[in-house]
């Protein structure tokens, strides 16, 4: 076994987002952008336990700051999913997006039909729940990589593939 960890496939996380709200900031170098999370799903990879099939409920947001040099975005997203068996799970992820021309087109609303490649967006996911069936999620470490999918006339979807960090 390796001394370095690896990732076991855990979830596909699809998040539908709306246009960013330019909140601004009087005290920071870069302005706050709030990206409304308007829907989405969280589904377990085959064989992962606990098996989850859930949809986002209520309103979630991704609070984003761009680095001063404009090359990266810092993500801080919060939302709640409801499983098919009625459990509520708080989902939080933080991460970094490297801005290429494709990601810039997504965030400026000029993407048209475009899917960005995996490899420019990485996240760390945590969970919180009072439901004993899913409580173990709070004790695990999850990381993921994402891409953006834009289609004319439809909301942008962020497609994350999330793995559980395990002993190599």
Using CA atoms, how far apart are residues 3 and 156, in angstroms rounded to an integer? 39
Q: What CATH number does the domain containing 102 carry?
A: 2.40.160.20
The residue whose two tokens read 């986002």 is: 56
User: pTM of the entire structure?
Assistant: 0.93
**147: domain range?**
6-166
For residue range 93-125, list pLDDT tens digits in order. Answer: 999 999 999 999 888 888 788 899 999 999 999
1: pLDDT strictly greater than 90: no
| Domains in the chain, number | 1
* DSSP structure string for 42-102: EEEPTT-SS--EEEEEEEEEEEEEE-TTSSEEEEEEEEEEEETTS-EEEEEEEEEEE--HH
- Judge whether 1 lies within some domain: no
The 10 Å Cβ neighbour count of residue 115 is 15
What average pLDDT does the segment 17-37 reach? 86
């Amino acid at each position: 076994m390796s001394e370095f960890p690896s990732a076991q496939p855990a979830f596909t996380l699809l998040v539908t987002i709306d246009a960013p709200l330019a909140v601004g900031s009087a005290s920071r170098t870069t302005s706050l952008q709030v990206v409304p999370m308007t829907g989405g799903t969280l589904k377990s990879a085959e064989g992962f336990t606990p098996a989850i099939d859930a949809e986002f409920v209520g309103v979630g947001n991704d609070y984003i700051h761009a680095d001063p040099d404009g090359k990266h975005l810092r993500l801080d997203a919060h939302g709640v999913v409801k499983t098919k068996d009625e459990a509520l799970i708080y989902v939080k992820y933080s991460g970094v997006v490297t801005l290429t021309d494709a990601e810039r087109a997504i965030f400026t609303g000029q993407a048209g039909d475009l899917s960005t490649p995996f490899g420019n967006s990485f996240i760390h996911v945590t969970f919180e729940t009072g439901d004993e069936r899913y409580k173990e999620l709070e004790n695990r470490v999850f990381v993921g990589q994402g891409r953006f999918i834009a289609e004319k006339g439809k909301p942008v979807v962020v497609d994350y593939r999330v793995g559980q960090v395990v002993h190599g």
